[in-house]
Amino acid sequence: MKKTITILCAFLCMLTFQGCGIYSFNGISIDENIKTFQVNFFQNQAPIVEPGIDRTFTFALQDLIQDQTNLSLVSNNGELLFEGEIVEYYIAPQASTSENTAAQNRLTISVNVRYYNNTKTDGEDDFERRFSFFSDVPATTQLVGSELDTALEEIFERITQDIVNESLAKW
């Protein structure tokens, strides 16, 4: 009897979600007619240039969109277009010690993003916006090698998710 009730409850839950149409736990709702997206290369135009972060960021945004949607990545004529540039990359002291030295440094990166939904002629969904995030590291840590990779991963994970939420999630 217990097994029958469990199966019945599971069946009712499946019917409930089935009736809701396409449902996404991450809030992304894309018109079912949209099949492609394009992410143009995000050039590093920050005053301080850290080699390779432009490529890393571009791939991070492409990967996140592919992971969270069923859209296909194309190199041109994408129905959804993401483009922009990295405009800030700087490290600033965040906290000090009693000896007036930095106890913690903050790496901040800002990215200017332009998003176009080329399936709509009214430009209602289009935007241009700056996204920024940071990572705090001990002042004794030099941001090179794996330390830099870890900080960039943390920053890019947050910025790319914010971009996807702004452009594709309709909360």
Would you place residue 53 in the very low, low, confident or very high pLDDT band (cuts 50, 70, 90)?
Answer: very high
Would you place residue 21 in the very low, low, confident or very high pLDDT band (cuts 50, 70, 90)?
Answer: very low
Q: Read off the amino acid at residue 125.
A: D
User: What's the pLDDT at 156?
Assistant: 98
Which of the two residues, 170 and 79, has the higher pLDDT score?
A: 79
User: What's the pLDDT at 120?
Assistant: 85
Distance (Å, whole) CA 75 – CA 28: 22
Rounded to an integer, the average pLDDT of 45-62 is 96
- Name 109's Cβ contacts closer than 8 Å, sequence gap at least 6: 46, 53, 86, 88, 89, 132, 133, 134, 152, 155, 156, 159
